[in-house]
Amino acid sequence: MKIILNQDVPNLGEEGDVCVVKDGYARNYLLPTGAAVVYNNTSLAIFKSRAAAIEKRKIEKRKASAELKGLLDNVTVSLVVATGESGKLFGSVTSAMIQEKLKEQGFDIEKKRIEFASHSAKMAGLYTAKIHLYENESSVIKVDIKSEAELKKAQKEAEEAERAAKAEAAKLEAETAIAAEAAVEAVEKVAEAAEEVSSEV
C-alpha cells in the first residue's frame, strides 16, 4: 500500500515521505494511529501545501538532534546485574534497562531508538549502545555493566578496612593517652625531686 507519513516513523521515514508498506502494517498500525494517510491526489495536495512547514520542522529536528548527540556522546550508564562467581551474567541487559538509566540522567529516549546487542554482553564490563536520533544521526553511549556480587564484595572489603582503621585509631589514641599520662607522672616526679633538693638547701 502506498502511504504518506504524517509523522516521523523510525526505520521507515519522516513526515511527508511517500512510502510503500505491507497492507497489514498500514491498516493495523500506521493508519489507525494517524502516523500515515493513504496516498491519493487529495492527501498529496494537502502535503504539498504543508511542505514549507514540514521542512522548517525538519531543520529544527536536525538542530535538536545535533545538540542531543553532543550531550549523549559523553554519557555512561551503569547497570548492576546478578552474575556468577566468574562474572558471567545470569540474565540479559535490555534496551528498556538502558532507557530507564538514561531517564534517571534526564534523557527521555524511546526504547525502540536504543540499539544494544544484549547477546554480546555475557560478562560484567564496559560495552556500547547506539542511540538512533534523527535521520542518519546517531550517538554511541557507554554501558558499564557491574557485577552485583563484586560490588557487595568490594563494599564488604571497604567496611572491613574502615573497621580496621577505626580500631587502629582507637589503639593509637589509647597509646597516646598512656604516653601522656606517663609524661605527666615524670614531670610530677621531677617537680617533687626539685622540691626535695630545694628544701634540703
Residue 132 is part of a domain; what is its CATH number?
3.10.430.100
Question: For a pLDDT cut of 90, what percent of the chain falls above it?
Answer: 24
Range of the domain at 145: 72-151
- Please, what is the end-to-end C-alpha distance for the chain in angstroms? 125
Model confidence at 27, in pLDDT bands (50, 70, 90)? very high
- Write down the pLDDT at residue 39: 92
pLDDT at position 139 over 70: yes
Other beta carbons within 10 Å of 4: 19
| In a domain? residue 121 | yes
pTM: 0.59
**What is the identity of the amino acid at 201?**
V
Whether residue 146 lies inside any domain: the answer is yes
Query: For cell 593509637, what's the residue?
Result: 172
Q: Is the same domain home to 45 and 76? A: no
Least confident of 14-18, 65-69, 95-99, 117-121: 117-121
> Whole-angstrom Cα distance, residue 49 to residue 53?
9
Nearest to 131 by CA among 58, 78, 65: 65
Number of domains in the chain: 2
In this structure, is residue 180 part of a structural domain? no
Looking at residue 192, its pLDDT comes to 73
Q: Is residue 84 domain-resident?
A: yes
Instruction: Please say whether the beta carbons of 107 and 75 come within 8 A.
Output: yes
DSSP annotation of 89 reads: B
CB 78 within 8 A of CB 150: no
Residue from 17, 129, 24 nearest 72 by CA:
129
Binned at pLDDT 50, 70 and 90, residue 200 comes out as low
